[in-house]
Amino acid sequence: MTTDVSTSQPLDDRRRGEVFTYVGFDLDPERNRVVCHYRLDDRDFREEITFPGGGDWTHPAVAEAARLLFLLAGVSYYKAGAPPVIDLGSTAVTATERAFLRGYHLDGLGEFAHRNGLDLTDLQIVGPELVRTAPTAYDPAPGRPLIPFGGGIDSIVTVELLRPNVDAPALFVVNRPGDRFAAIEEPAAVTGLPVVRAERLIDEQVLRSRELGFLNGHVPVTGIISAIALVAAVLEGRDAVVMSNEWSASSATLVVDGRAINHQYSKSEEFEAAFRGVVAEALGGRPEYFSLLRPFSELWIAGRFAEHPEYLDHFRSCNRAFHIDRSLRLDHWCGHCDKCSFIDLILAPFVPEEVLRRVFRGAEPLANPGLLETFRKLLALTPDAKPWECVGDEVESRVAARLAADRADRQGNAVLATLVAESAGSADPPPDDLLRPLSAHHVPERYAPDTLLV
């Protein structure tokens, strides 16, 4: 259970700006790109999102999807000063969209605000009201989903669950122009599916945040990627954007003064439902937007992933594999971060020890007693907060530790033995309860795996 704590640092609004303005966006079909313009007080920002594969830029749904992208991408620049007023300029929004944007900024920047000692609850969003008489018509052929793909176990399991049910799936990958991550490209090649790409060129001022005195911190990047994927799907005439966000992505990382703060907010069911509402109003619910893994625990996902050993030597979720600075980017698991430790732990009940030692090139986290404190945090056995990371719920971690410790090839593992002993008093559910659907979901029947149809 997530601990409720009081604010541990004084609020300091002195660095906040005054007004953030949505200046406008342009479609540039000749260059297959959307160009977004923003302003923070007297400083201008420009972002370009290019879709190298092109598509039908004349379809009215493209402009509507691009408008949503413009609205969601702005958060990367808003955070530079996090002012109390967002001015939408000439961009009209519906009441639904205005409410969505306020929640997107308050909850999507919850971690950012907490760690910067800011209170953003005074946020006002001003600008023209859009009264919509009907959504923009978009009626794609079924069975052509776009799957945002990060190369980790979640998106790999989504691919393999969809294979039997669809005719023409494709992966979707967003990179900086001219850059590709081996940690994505290698498992993508194993899938054998075509890759639809987008290139996101962030204003370089944001990359100089410290130098320029901007506020800095985590943004709801999955929300931005979702909006980019929506544009790509419409350009390609695809009927769905299928995410890979699991049940525990909705769990709070921390509760402060009764308010949930979730590092994974834009992967949560709350965000998914709200964004679906916006897409339904703007585009009639097409492309369909949903997470195929929403009802499932990370434990269930790990078990399904283990059924596909062809990926074991190619997937990587370690953040060091995605470093912007190529000189610091690793071509292997670092073996000691929160993400490496969680992935090792959640796979340990299903994958032989010798295989995981090979995956981690001899630096398997569970074989390292020096990482005991890292595992204690994952299992919520210390008073410290859950890591600000995309890791599973503490209940999943404790159950995974018990299951792994019961394996014959893990007998004598000091880390697991300690974790099981220290968590003996936890009132966790039996493993079978985590190996079945756990929650409501938005998966349409035509895309539902057999597990959801029983």
DSSP 412: T
Which has the minimum average pLDDT: 98-107, 226-235, 438-447? 438-447
Residue range 172-186: average pLDDT?
A: 94
pLDDT of residue 137: 93
Give the Å distances, CA to CA, from 278 to 93, 184, 232.
10, 29, 17
Side-chain-side CA neighbours of 451 within 13 Å: the count stands at: 19
Task: Please tell me the predicted confidence (pLDDT) of residue 7.
Answer: 44
Half-sphere exposure of 135 (CA within 13 A, CB side): 17
Region for 54 from its dihedrals, namely left if φ exceeds 0, alpha if ψ lies in -120 to 50, beta otherwise: left
Backbone angles phi, psi at 186, to 5 degrees: -65, -55
Determine how many CB atoms are found less than 10 A away from the CB of residue 307.
Answer: 9
Phi then psi for residue 49, to 5 deg, are -120, 115
Confidence at residue 453, expressed as pLDDT on a 0 to 100 scale? 56
Domain ranges of the chain: 14-291, 309-434
Instruction: Specify the residue for token string 């092109």.
Output: 54
Pair of tokens at residue 314:
């190619």
Look up residue 131 and give its amino acid: V
pLDDT tens profile 258-273: 888 888 999 999 999 9
Question: Within its chain, how far is the Cα of 357 from the centroid?
Answer: 27
| pLDDT at residue number 438 | 87
The pLDDT value given to residue 13: 58
The mean predicted confidence, pLDDT, of the chain is 92
9 vs 99, more confident? 99
Spatial CA neighbour of 20 closest among 91, 70, 86: 86
User: For residue 140, what is the DSSP state?
Assistant: P
Taking the complete model, does pTM exceed 0.85, yes or no?
yes
Of all residues in the chain, the percent with pLDDT exceeding 70 is 96
pLDDT tens per residue, range 135-155: 999 999 999 999 999 999 999
Asked if 190 contacts 314 with a C-beta cutoff of 8 angstroms, the reply is: yes
Going edge to edge, which strands form the sheet with 43-50?
124-126, 85-87, 19-28, 33-40, 43-50, 195-201, 170-175, 145-148, 240-243, 288-291
Please check whether residue 212 is in contact with residue 417, taking contact to mean a CB–CB distance below 8 angstroms: no
Q: State yes or no: pLDDT of 112 exceeds 80.
A: yes
Structure confidence by residue, pLDDT tens digits, 10-54: 445 557 999 999 999 999 999 999 999 999 999 999 999 999 999
